[in-house]
Amino acid sequence: MNKSRFIFAIAAALVAGGLLAASLRLPLWHMRMEAPQYHDQEALKVVVTPGSLRGDINEIKVLNKYIGVTVPDTLPQTQWLPFALGITAILGVVIAFLPGRSRCIAALSLAAALCAAILVAAGQAQFQMYRIGHDRNRHAALTGVADFTPPLLGNRKLAQFELESRLGLGSFAIASAVALYAAMGLTARKWKAATGRVTNEAFVAPAPHISDYAI
């Protein structure tokens, strides 16, 4: 039992770590901007990965000048999110080696911390969206465009553009990692509850020898 529990934990940690590593290259979030002259294939796209802001940023900047919007070159999230994801991935593997109860607490905390990190990133993004549409140059060329907040998720019509924002594969990869860390923690607890054993080995016994876990 001990062994299968550990195997699950290490497998979950490795898969979650892999997902987080993959998410560094995957889009967390897409925005698509369609207008009559930016139609179909020519719709403008923004892609945010944990470490980058990509897409038709130049063209979006050029267009936004007319309504006094300053489009940022980079996002603050991209400064810290890759590190947060990397550290989480490493911690996940370390936690897998912890004994039962510690592993439970640590894994659940890790899941919670990862959730919090994502929420902070999303919060930063929402604030940025608000700022983009409200903190505008009042001397901009075009009049008649009211302050706005581009949608973090969903569709909205802004000036000539129909905006569509949605989560990317990276977000789902991170969500899956959260679920795996939670499962890692919860399975540790369930095992304890099911066996009814006080996990002396976990608290009292010296750390198991690596040969115990030989897979």
Partner 1 sequence: MKKLLSLTSLVAAALTLAGCYSDSDAKKEKTAAQNVSDAQRVYVAPGKLDDYYAILSGGQSGSVFVYGIPSCRLIKEVPIFEARAGLGYANNPSSESYNRLHDSGPMWGDTHHPVLSQTGGRYDGRWLWINDKANGRVAKIDLRTFETVAIKRVTNIQGAHGLAAYLPNCKYLFVNGELEHDLDDSTDASKYHSVIAFVDSDTLETKFEVLLTGNADIASSGKDGRYVFSTMYNTENAVTSEGMIERDQDAVAAIDVPLAEKAIADGKFTKVKGVPVIKPEDVPGVLTLIPVPKNPHGCNVTPDGKYVLASGKLSPTVTIIDAHTLKVIAEPEVGLGPLHTTFDGRGNAYTSLFIDSQIVKWNIEKAIKGEADYIVDRVDVHYNVGHTKAAGADTSYPSGDWLISLNKLSKGMYLPVGPAMPESQELIDISGAKMHVVAAFPSLPEPHDAVFIPRQTLADKVAQTYEVAPTATKLGEEKIVRNGNKLDVYMTCIRSKFVPEQFETHPGDQVTIHLTNVETVRDMTHGFALTDHGINIAVDPGQTQVVTFTAGDKGTYWYYCTWFCSALHLEMRGRMLVKAPDQVLSDSINPAAEGKSTPAGSYE
The residues of the shown chain that bind partner 1, judged by CB under 8 A, are 42, 56, 58-59, 62, 65-66, 68, 70, 137, 139-142
Q: How far is the CB of 138 from partner 1 (least distance, A)?
A: 10
Q: Which is nearer to partner 1, 143 or 211 (CB)?
A: 143
In the numeric block, the tokens 């989560």 are attached to 167
In the bound state with partner 1, the residue whose beta carbon lies nearer, of 58 and 200, is 58
> How far apart are alpha carbons 93 and 107 in whole angstroms?
10
Angle between helices 2-23 and 169-195 (to 10 degrees): 170
With tokens 């996990």, the residue in question is 199
Q: Which is nearer to partner 1, 56 or 201 (CB)?
A: 56
Beta strands, E only, 90-172: 154-158, 161-167
How near is the Cβ of 110 to partner 1 at its closest, in Å? 42
Sign (positive or negative) of CA dihedral 106, 107, 108, 114: positive
Which of 135/212 has CB closer to partner 1? 135
In the block, which residue shows the tokens 């290259």?
Answer: 25
In the complex, minimum distance from the CB of residue 137 to partner 1, in angstroms, rounded to a whole number: 7
Q: Tell me how far, at minimum, the Cβ of 68 lies from partner 1, in Å.
A: 8
